[in-house]
A and B are shown apart, each in its own frame.
Chain A
Amino acid sequence: MKSDLTTETQRHRGQLGLQCPPAIQPSIKINNRKGTKVAKKIAEIIVFLFLRLSLRSLRLCGSNSFIRFFATRCCIPSTPLCSLCLCGYLFFFSALAKGQTQTVTVSAAISLKDAMNAEVKEYQKHGGDTIRLNFGASGDLANQIIAGAPVDLFISAGSEQIAQLSRANRIDRNASVLACNELVLVVPADVSDGPTSWQDLIHYKRIAIGDPKSVPAGKYATEVFAHMKLSEQLSGKIIYGSNVRQVLAYVERGEVDAGVVYSTDARQAGSHVHVAAVAPDGSHEPIQYPAVIVRDGNKPAAEKFLGFLFTPTGQEILLHYGFLKGSR
């Protein structure tokens, strides 16, 4: 059963062409948005002129005896009627003008939260589109996308979620690995007698991991426990977090004896947690962040943002937050 699962995931990874460690990424130029800004200004002027014109024609209408008759019979004085029409016009044209700016909705694994916020800040500095970020457990995000959530770009913390989307026919291209990560065992920083190794965990009562069904970090954690042959001894001690940051919060608040999170999360928590052990290579499936464009989304804009993430600038931010390099 277990080996079946591994071979299946390996097969998926083969299909998806995921690789880690990485090669050099192509640099992609970000479009200068000056052009669109000019277009927006022109559109504004056109709207303004149009409104002036329509206002005049409405005033003319107001003097038409039939319209006046109609308006008075319906107890609608003609001036409010005019302003009502005006509002309608304004609404219509402002909506048209708004269509010029694009918004890209990105659903990303919550472990990427701080790094992605920084990426978006940088992207905006380079004049990129508006990015709406949505964080959560990769499994939750994948379910939302399968259920039809209007997402343009999905960055998962595991390949299983990408396979899920591909089975549901919600993506039409291969994923590219944006970054890689490591799994660590963390303990509350102010506890001196906490576990110091993975084997040590059997002496403790409460260990938090992500819910393996929806949180990739939890799935990797169960793989490590299985690799260390600890699964059975730990079975009554596990507490599920609904995403990896909740696991981290449990450890930070001292509610559990230890938790399994990514090294980037431990770094983010700073002095609140202490890394007790790092999961050795081969004890779990390599931790990769595949990014994929969602079908029916705003493809060109999503592609542009994804391209930015693979530029040296984009990759540098990820490295700064402790992620390992990915490959396109």
Chain B
Amino acid sequence: MDEFASSLAVSLRVAGSATLLVLILGVPAAWWLARKRFWGKNLIMGALVLPLVLPPTVVGYFLVVLLGSRGVIGSWLKSVGIGIMFTQTGATIAAGVVAFPLLLLPAKAAFEGVSREMEDIARVMGASSLGVFWHVSLPLARRGIGSGALLAFARALGEFGATMMVLGQIPGKMTLPISIYEDYVDGEIWHAWPAVAALVGASVAAIVIYNHLTAPEA
């Protein structure tokens, strides 16, 4: 049960910070992609959505190659004292990359659904472009962003492949999905039931809230 409590804590921390990371990067990106036109937009869009269809182990591979201790970015990060491999920072990045498209797509759709007239009115009334975004677009797109964040959180909570490659198996510091796999390979599959129950519960809750968020407004 101790193991379960510690993995639950690790999982919530990783999924929570990954969702935060995805929100901070994803919302402006979604707005930018929804509103601006520029050369190579489809290419960037494709690259950002790619983790949705890419096997998580491939994402993990790139992360290990780039951010590992001998990687291009990893060796530099190590020299300034930031560890990626076997740390929750690394796990957060892995889960964040995989969860990113799940926020980006609904958020982009929500921004596209915000009427341009509203934004123009605000602009005519003297709002700066940041003001338009903050006071008009963002509040109008909040449902899409909310449902996207929820999906991203659920995905990050359940992420296994990329996280496993970056975080590894450190006793007492595993995420819930990794602890389930660990119990399985150790031949103690019944030890995994609290983790399984927690993840099933979280997923069901996510779907219920998602349905509630995306239901047509009365």
Is A213's CB within 8 Å of the partner chain B? yes
The answer on a CB contact under 8 Å between B185 and A143 is yes
Number of contact residues on B: which range applies? 10 to 19
Question: Quick one: CB contact mask for A243-259 with B, threshold 8 Å, 1 for yes?
Answer: 00000001001111000
Is A242's CB within 8 Å of the partner chain B? yes
A139-B185, A143-B185, A206-B86 known; A238 and B68 CB under 8 Å?
A: no
Quote the shortest CB–CB distance from B76 to chain A (angstroms): 14
Quote the shortest CB–CB distance from A317 to chain B (angstroms): 29
Quote the shortest CB–CB distance from A97 to chain B (angstroms): 39
The answer on a CB contact under 8 Å between B185 and A214 is yes
Q: Which residues of B contact A211 (CB under 8 A)?
A: 169, 182, 185-186
The answer on a CB contact under 8 Å between B185 and A238 is no
Is B201's CB within 8 Å of the partner chain A? no
Quote the shortest CB–CB distance from A270 to chain B (angstroms): 17
The answer on a CB contact under 8 Å between B68 and A213 is no
B 169-187 contacts with A by CB, 8 A: 169-171, 182, 185-187
Is B51's CB within 8 Å of the partner chain A? no
The answer on a CB contact under 8 Å between B185 and A254 is no
A 215-257 contacts with B by CB, 8 A: 238-242, 250, 253-256
Report the separation of the CA atoms of residues A142 and B185 in the bound assembly, to the nearest whole angstrom.
Answer: 10
Give the residue of B70, B185, B188 whose beta carbon is less than 8 angstroms from that of A253. Answer: B70
Number of contact residues on A: which range applies? 20 to 34
Give the residue of A139, A164, A238, A254 whose beta carbon is less than 8 angstroms from that of B69. Answer: A254
Report the separation of the CA atoms of residues A241 and B167 in the bound assembly, to the nearest whole angstrom.
Answer: 11
Q: Which residues of A contact B69 (CB under 8 A)?
A: 253-255
Quote the shortest CB–CB distance from B84 to chain A (angstroms): 9
The answer on a CB contact under 8 Å between A239 and B86 is yes
What are the nearest 8 A-B pairs in CB distance? A240-B169, A213-B186, A143-B187, A254-B69, A255-B85, A239-B170, A255-B69, A140-B185
The answer on a CB contact under 8 Å between B169 and A139 is no
B 136-189 contacts with A by CB, 8 A: 168-171, 182, 185-188
Is A137's CB within 8 Å of the partner chain B? yes
Report the separation of the CA atoms of residues A137 and B185 in the bound assembly, to the nearest whole angstrom.
Answer: 9
Question: Quick one: CB contact mask for A131-148 with B, threshold 8 Å, 1 for yes?
Answer: 000000101101100100
22 A-B residue contacts at CB 8 Å? Answer: A139-B186, A140-B185, A142-B187, A143-B185, A143-B187, A164-B187, A206-B86, A211-B185, A211-B186, A213-B186, A214-B186, A214-B187, A239-B168, A239-B169, A239-B170, A242-B169, A242-B185, A250-B168, A253-B69, A254-B69, A255-B68, A255-B69
Quote the shortest CB–CB distance from A89 to chain B (angstroms): 42
Closest A residue by C-beta to B174: A240
Question: Quick one: CB contact mask for B41-78 with A, threshold 8 Å, 1 for yes?
Answer: 00000000000000000000000000011100000000
Q: Which residues of A contact B186 (CB under 8 A)?
A: 139, 211, 213-214
Report the separation of the CA atoms of residues A238 and B188 in the bound assembly, to the nearest whole angstrom.
Answer: 21
A211-B182, A255-B86 known; A139 and B187 CB under 8 Å?
A: yes
Closest A residue by C-beta to B64: A253
